[in-house]
Structure 1
Amino acid sequence: MKKSRLLAGLVLLAGIMLSVTGCREKTYKLALVTDVGTINDKSFNQGAWEGLEKYAKDKKMTYQYYQPKQQTTNDYVESAKVAIENGAEVVVTPGYLFENAIWQLQTEHPDVKFILLDGSPHNVIDWDTMATLDGEDPNYDIKDNVYSIFYAEEEAGFYAGYASVKEGMRDLGFMGGMAVPAVVRFGMGYIEGAKYAANELELDDGAVTMKYTYLNSFIPDAAHQTKAAAWYGTGTEVIFAAAGGAGGSVMKAAEEKQNKWVIGVDVDQRAESRTVLTSAIKSLGSSVYQTLDKIYKDGVKGGTSETLDSTVGGVGLPAKSDADFDRFQNFNKEQYDAVYELVKNGTITVYDDVEDPDYVALGGAKVVVTVE
């Protein structure tokens, strides 16, 4: 009898130990839920993931990512809940599509921290009718467990447009993924930068042209490649592909042509193709890393939104050394540093109002914009 009880006890103990071990294997303190795409999209998701991963490795913390099955608020919420069940103390969500999800989660999980990139929590699900997630009045509360981070994409786009025209290009193109605020700001800035350079060079009116469109997608597609190839075939020299993973399709089109270029987005995409002239980047990785440090090291509470611009190195072109400009023939780091300083000190102010943007008017007389 004693032996039977001892054996039963050992079996129970083993079961408990196995259960605990299993829990430990599923415990990841830091989590990221992907937006459209994956963590290796060479763009927005990947930039955020690299920041989380670096912090986790530096601080010897466990981490994991979760990919929603579909692009819906419910799926985002459920993926975040799985992360929390698996031990997440901080959940990083890259993209405005998480705004409704974080609005819901911030109240349901007050002990969990949420880093929301390119967005701010709210319950509005239809801006035309102002219908809301819960049927109540519109609510824009940001709880103190939410860290809302925006970027001055218009400034990054400005540098890309400025560099293109200073390089000597006159036939430009812009392909945005979708007409969402961040992408619209990239595009507006691109037009403004091209115009500023055209004025600086005293070019004739209409000397610079720009085709402008939204692909309605952030993922690679043969149709995007075909469209880009058509633009290149009719004279476009460079396309700013502010379209996440869809930018890869534009790169493929450029690779099939001679002397055609792409401007990457969000992260330095130089390594993705020999056709990437430069990239309009946001400090995704470093902003995630720094926010995690604020949470764990400094105990800083959230509850507000902040916009990272040129004054804090939040946006720009890759510019660590002259090597970042070696695909240019005329534009160089010295010129970039000079115009960056003008934006940084406020001498140049880049337009950033995304409400009913008039792309043609932004180009003025110098840059003729054709919206497709």
Structure 2
Amino acid sequence: MKKLIAIAMMMALVCSSTFAAKAKKAKKSSKASIKIAMVTDSGDITDQSFNQTTYQACKDYAEANGLEFQYYKPAGDSNADRVASIDAAYQDGYNVIVLPGYLFGEAIGKVAKDYDDAKFIGLDISEGDLGGIAVPANVFCAVYAEELPGFFAGYAAVKEGYRHLGFLGGMAVPAVVRYGYGFVQGANKAAEELKVADQVTIEYVYGGQFYGDQTITAAMDGWYKNRGVEVVFACGGAIWSSACEAASKVGGKVIGVDVDQTAQINSYADGMCVTSAMKGLSATVNAALSAIQAGNWADYSGKIANLGLVSGKDLSLNYVGLPTDTWTMKNYSVNDYKKLVADVYANKVTVSNAIDKAPAVTVKVNYYQNIK
């Protein structure tokens, strides 16, 4: 009898263990099975900017969650090349495809309807970039309030003590223009508070491309050497390299963009980087991928989200801002910056996102034609 009871208990334990294992497996499989791909735009994953940050965010998420990940680089800088890379990713079995940059707007319109069982995450892709089409249900796009980090950077530069500033944009696309006009507004706000508006000058130009070269470096040489520019906000892909090359010759300063570029800029000269006007690309990727994996795609489906400030207290929650971990400014403190963020969040300080005309300011702004 005891032997029968023991056998029965053992069978019960086996059944219980089997049930628990199945329940655990079922719970685990309740998360969507996804394979993540990322396609670069006109750059590469070593651009130390948009592509690299997106690549790293996707890679880190995949590794942390035991998911497959692969990136694809188009053969050339054309819409057909980008579509071909998306096609390749889909044919390889990747069902979540991350696309960084406005250049993918037209491509999304072409592929989303054909691959309706895949999901597409577009970073910095606006309604205009999509060509006016309705956002497909399998697409989520994020745009950013670039005027805000631009504003913060311009404000910080003047508060830190710089009086002759420069803005070097890549191409005059909406995102870059918002950065630039925000920068002008921020510098003007700080100058008016300090009552030095008559002492502040901003040189303003677009390079006509998203990379640096000898022609753009020469233009920056002229700003630093001949015009007396102290710091340049270099905004647009890898165009910052030309600003850094010119700044390194005269001890000039540079402000980074999109990500914290302190290490990259300071590689040209110690202390060259003043700050960086950042977008929360990694935070966006993590949020969207987490939603897909958790089965909450409905929160993102067919939407274009304009991401900016979501907190006036916790800076880590915001999708735009300045980096505080690498803060080196002496006259303008992190606490000063936190107060400004809180004021902007509470609408005590307003920043225009208009790009149809230059902001009305009291500081002097010299607007130039494109370098190219």
Q: TM-score range by the shorter chain?
A: 0.7 to 0.9
Q: Which aligned pairs between 1:149-160 and structure 2 lie closer than 5 A? A: 149-160=142-153
> What letter matches 1:291 in structure 2?
A
Contact 1:54/1:289 (8 A) holds in 2: no
Q: Which residue of 2 aligns with 1:368?
A: 365
Q: 1:110 to 1:120 in 2, by over 3 A?
A: farther
- Of 246, 249, 254, which residue of structure 2 is paired with 1:253? 246
* Aligned equivalents of 2:44, 2:77: Cα separation in 1: 12
The equivalent residue for 1:316 is 321
Partner residue, 1:113: 119
Q: Is the 8 A contact 1:210 1:368 kept in 2?
A: yes
Structure 2 CA distance, aligned partners of 1:347 and 1:371? 32
Measure, in 2, the Cα distance between the counterparts of 1:368 and 1:179.
17
Q: Secondary structure at the match of 1:262?
A: strand
Unaligned runs of 5+ in 2: 1-33, 267-271, 311-316
Aligned residue in 2 for 1:335: 336
Shift of residue 197, structure 1, vs aligned partner: 0.3
**Residue aligning to 2:306:** 307
DSSP 3-state at the match of 1:149: strand
The Cα RMSD (Å) is 1.7
Question: Is the Cα contact below 8 Å between 1:241 and 1:265 reproduced in 2?
Answer: yes
Q: Partners in 2 of 1:349 and 1:295 — Cα distance?
A: 35
Deviation at residue 349 of structure 1 after TM alignment: 1.8
The aligned counterpart of 2:9 is none
2:102–2:129 Cα contact (<8 Å) kept? no
Q: CA deviation at 1:121?
A: 5.8
User: How many Å separate the matches in 1 of 2:141 and 2:248?
Assistant: 38
Shift of the alpha carbon at 1:160?
0.5
Q: Does 1:78 align with 2:71?
A: no
Distance between the aligned counterparts of 2:253 and 2:85, measured in 1? 38
Q: Is the 8 A contact 2:57 2:286 kept in 1?
A: yes
User: Using a 3 Å threshold, how does the CA distance of structure 1 residues 120 and 368 change in structure 2: closer, same or farther?
Assistant: closer
Report the residue type matching 2:318 in the other structure.
G
Q: Distance in 2 between matches of 1:263 and 1:76?
A: 30
TM-superposed CA distance for 1:370, in Å, is 3.3
CA distance in 1 between partners of 2:130 and 2:291 (Å): 29
For these two proteins, the number of residue pairs brought into alignment is: 322
Match of 1:213 among 186, 205, 218: 205
Deviates more, 1:39-48 or 1:362-371: 362-371
Q: Aligned pair in 2 of structure 1 residues 309, 352: CA closer, same or farther (>3 Å)?
A: same
Q: 8 Å contact 2:125–2:142 — kept in the other structure?
A: yes
TM-score, length-scaled by structure 1: 0.83
Q: Tell me how far 1:344 sits from its aligned partner.
A: 1.4
1:368 Cα deviation after fit: 3.1
1:209-248 superposed Cα distances (whole Å, 9 cap, x missing partner): 0110000111231222221121111200000000211112
Gaps of 5+ in 1: 1-27, 126-138
For residues 104 and 370 of structure 1, what CA distance do their matches in structure 2 show? 37
Aligned to 1:264, the other structure's residue is in SS state strand
Aligned to 1:182: 175
Task: State the match for 1:30 in structure 2.
Answer: 36
Q: How does 1:1-372 map to 2 (within 5 A)?
A: 29-120=35-126, 139-203=132-196, 205-233=197-225, 234-258=227-251, 260-274=252-266, 275-301=272-298, 302-311=301-310, 312-320=317-325, 324-326=326-328, 328-355=329-356, 357-358=357-358, 362-372=359-369
**Are the aligned partners of 1:191 and 1:367 in contact in 2 as well (CA < 8 Å)?**
no
- Partners of 1:111 and 1:124 in 2: CA distance: 20
Amino acid across the alignment from 2:302: G
> How far does residue 367 in structure 1 lie from its aligned partner after superposition?
3.6
User: 1:273 Cα shift?
Assistant: 2.5
Q: Is the 2:233–2:254 contact (alpha carbons within 8 Å) kept by the matching residues of 1?
A: yes
Amino acid paired to 1:238: V
Q: Within 2, Cα distance between the matches of 1:194 and 1:363?
A: 12
- What fraction of aligned residue pairs are identical, expressed as a percent? 38
Equivalent in the alignment of 2:27: none
In the alignment, the residues of structure 1 paired with residue 127 and residue 195 of structure 2 have an alpha-carbon distance, to the nearest angstrom, of 45
SS at match of 2:239: helix
Residue pair 1:52, 1:288 contacting (<8 A) in 2 also: yes
State the TM-score, normalized to the length of structure 2: 0.83
C-alpha separation in 1, matches of 2:206 and 2:163? 21
